[in-house]
Amino acid sequence: MKTHLILLTLICFLFSVVSIVQGLSNPKCSAQDQGSTLQVFHVFSPCSPFRPSKPLSWEESVLQMLAKDQARLQYLSSLVARKSVVPIASGRQIIQSPTYIVRANIGTPPQTMLMAMDTSNDAAWLPCTGCVGCSSTVFAPAKSTTFKPLPCQAAQCNQVPNPTCGGGACAFNLTYGGSTIAANLSQDTVTLATDRIPAYTFGCIQKTTGSSVPPQGLMGLGRGPLSLLAQTQSLYSSTFSYCLPSFKSLNFSGSLRLGPVGQPKRIKYTPLLKNPRRSSLYYVNLVAIRVGRRVVDIPPSAFAFNPATGAGTIFDSGTVFTRLVTPAYTAVRNEFRRRVGRNLTVTSLGGFDTCYTVPIVSPTITFMFSGMNVTLPQDNFLIHSTAGSTTCLAMAAAPDNVNSVLNVIANMQQQNHRLLFDVPNSRLGVARELCT
């Protein structure tokens, strides 16, 4: 019972503080995006209208995020397998995915929308007037003089999943995590920071079911034909970077930097791998993981890149906690436990199976990629209670009921790093940057 009460108090400060600060009254929230750089906010930040309406205990928040990750991993697995999978959500309310949002101005005159960043998706979507199942914040096409629906004969109609034609207009439907989406293919002017992008193609959502669709809309940062990169190639040269702020801080200064200008010069790179079956995903070659000074004994097959099966390792902005295939995770977890101390009692919470209720001295964890090593600060792989009395390793094995061939480097492990996606040179860079 005592342990349960301790768990109930874990990092609820995040949500209690967020509930006190009232959204856009924070001066950071009203600051204008500059040049080709957009501010990035966590959905739980004071700048987000989608934060929980009441404080959650740490146990509740972690269980919700794990449930959200479950749907996210099923979505990623369906991408890898090229199959449509609609998982059955649990009775627990699942926080919408993904986790980080930016502001975009849509239409003429502009309507400000908050769009979720998703590096594993291509097309942009917006909830539109009259949408069934959408949030109360919607884009109003009738108020924009530059809005137009796309006809069935438009080339873009062949680039969306499951296109249909009714009355000459192109529509499509798809699954996303635990949700289904029906949308009309449309175009309008999009302004990102001070960059104006005319005739941007996106889905105008008419109906959605489930709880995985971001209520604020979605910006696809993948590599497919309808992604932001593809539609702005002449403007941004298929290059962008981001620094994700920690969800534990009130000082939100993360950023999405579009285009090659202003990107870091001193940064370590690893090659991007090409999977023709799923060219949108950002595959990299993870070769080993080091815990402390020891390279963990992991079978090479756990990291092997296989375009036919989708096996390998991706960076994903929408998954919260890094997931490793079972042989890799088990080896990392066991070495972590050994380094912390064999005699210490290990507890669990939800999908986290390595928690301690006494202070620990943690080893470092290093992801070793082709061409670069990334050693994580403890804040990127440990979660602590407010009193510091409970600590969990914030990684997990891929769930048994999803395709377990994919390793996902998730956003908690990316926080306070600058990730540079240099698609023309087929490389991904990582450098430490304190953006919280």
What pLDDT is attached to residue 44?
Answer: 62
pLDDT at residue number 24 = 38
Exposure class string for 399-434: b at 16+ Cβ within 10 A, else e: beebbbbbbbbbbbbbbbbbbbbbbeeebbbbbebe
SS (H, E, C) 211-272: CCCCCCCEEECCCCCCCHHHHCHHHHCCEEEEECCCCCCCCCCEEEEECCCCCCCCCEEEEE
Q: What is the pLDDT of residue 389?
A: 74
Question: Looking at residue 48, what is its pLDDT?
Answer: 66
pLDDT at 384: 80
Q: CB of 421 within 8 A of CB of 236?
A: no
Q: What is the pLDDT of residue 59?
A: 62
Ranges of the chain with pLDDT below 50: 1-25, 83-96
Tell me the whole-structure pTM to 2 decimals.
Answer: 0.86
| Residues designated catalytic | 118, 316
pLDDT (0 to 100) of residue 159: 92
